[in-house]
Structure 1
Amino acid sequence: MGDVIGMALGGTALVFFCCSAYVLTTRKDMSFLGGMLMAGIVVVLIGMVANIFLQLSALHLAISAVFILISSGAILYETSNIIHGGETNYIRATVSLYVSLYNIFVSLLSILGFASRD
């Protein structure tokens, strides 16, 4: 179990640093991701509600994988907003980045925990 937690932590750190480094080095404006992220969140929420009733482990894994992608996009979006001055409330930006990190960690933990079952 400790290996799974360590791998999830390492994967989360890798995703965060890669996304942040990409935005910091390219200085691209990622504001175009806003609409896609919102649509993705709605789709994932519908999938979560459906999985409450269906109880499909494959759907759970798919939701976790898509949630990792959405959270990675949120890191790109929020970091870009911070760099380009679109976000002046730094407490909100910090909380948003923290929530994205938490979501990536929990989703990776779910996927790796499922993969390590006997």
Structure 2
Amino acid sequence: MADFDRNAYAPYAAGMGRTISAAQYDQGLRSYMLGIYNHMSIALAISGLVAIGAFMLGTTTGANGRLALTPFGAAIWTSPLKWAVMLAPLAFVFLLSFRWERMSFGALLGTFYGFAAIMGLSLSSIFVIYKLGSIAQVFFITAASFGALSLFGYTTKKDLSGVGKFMIMGLFGLVIAGLVNIFMQSSALQFAINVIGVLVFAGLTAWDTQRLKEEYDAVAGDQVLLQKWSLMGALTLYLNFINMFQMLLSLFGNRNE
């Protein structure tokens, strides 16, 4: 990784066609990055609230004092409908990825938060599988790790593009291994996928943060594009966070008996 000065042309950047001061540039960049983190945080909050709400609606206390499923819980977690719940977030990601440029900002914002809600419904089963204290503990570990990695990506003077390309290759490998393990059902392979996955999404978090910071120059001259790109950046970091959280939970979470 080579050292480089990402903001060497900051006073002339952002496609504005005019010279701006370094202070103006820094203020705009901070506002842009803050928007990304705000959208991501709101999306995580929506996902968490929907997941908890679905868990409360989907479970009850059985006659033996143990957790039992309501008809709603049985529908979203054990019936064929569970596949629609599991795959719906992927459909949203494809929609956002391929249609975002043609959507208005309002439509894009609504779709993004709708995706967060559907993701929350998809994640709600973790409250059935894992103990609540364990989920909270892993969430805070993920949040602290994500914050440190993103801060590193934002502040480092090292070019992380090489790391990013390597992580993308690792991501494709994880997808292939995950598909294979659907049929193999190997606990050892799943453990390896989770361990490697944590490392891959850790690397992607740092690289994506640096990449989003650098791309500010290209979008700052167009306010609408800037707003849309902020949302797409939030989607990227949100997915990194959620995937890291799920893999850490699989590795360290305490399961309900």
Partner of 2:195: 65
* Greater relative contact order (Cα < 8 A, sep 6+): 1
Please report the TM-score for the alignment, with normalisation by the length of structure 2: 0.42
Q: Among 97, 111, 114, which residue is 2:251 paired with?
A: 111
CA distance in 2, matches of 1:97, 1:47: 23
Partner of 2:107: none
SS at structure 2 position matched to 1:28: coil
Between structures 1 and 2, the one with greater helix share = 1
Identity, % of aligned positions: 29
CA distance in 2, matches of 1:77, 1:55: 32
| Deviation for aligned residue 1:9 | 0.5
Matched, 1:85 2:225: no
Which residue identity is paired with 1:84? E
Q: Does the 8 Å contact 1:82/1:93 carry over to 2? A: yes
Q: Among 139, 160, 165, which residue is 1:30 paired with?
A: 160
| Deviation for aligned residue 1:7 | 1.7
SS at structure 2 position matched to 1:29: coil
Moved over 6 A (4+): none
SS at structure 2 position matched to 1:92: helix
Point out the more displaced range, 82-91 or 5-14.
82-91
Q: Does the 8 Å contact 1:30/1:77 carry over to 2? A: yes
Q: Does the 8 Å contact 2:163/2:203 carry over to 1? A: yes
Partner of 1:50: 180
- Could you say which structure has the larger radius of gyration? 2
| Deviation for aligned residue 1:72 | 1.0
CA distance in 2, matches of 1:76, 1:96: 12
Q: Does the 8 Å contact 1:28/1:80 carry over to 2? A: no
Q: Does the 8 Å contact 2:160/2:210 carry over to 1? A: yes
CA distance in 1, matches of 2:183, 2:199: 24
Point out the more displaced range, 25-34 or 66-75.
25-34
How many residues are treated as equivalent by the alignment?
Answer: 116
| Deviation for aligned residue 1:93 | 1.1
SS at structure 2 position matched to 1:32: helix
Please report the TM-score for the alignment, with normalisation by the length of structure 1: 0.85
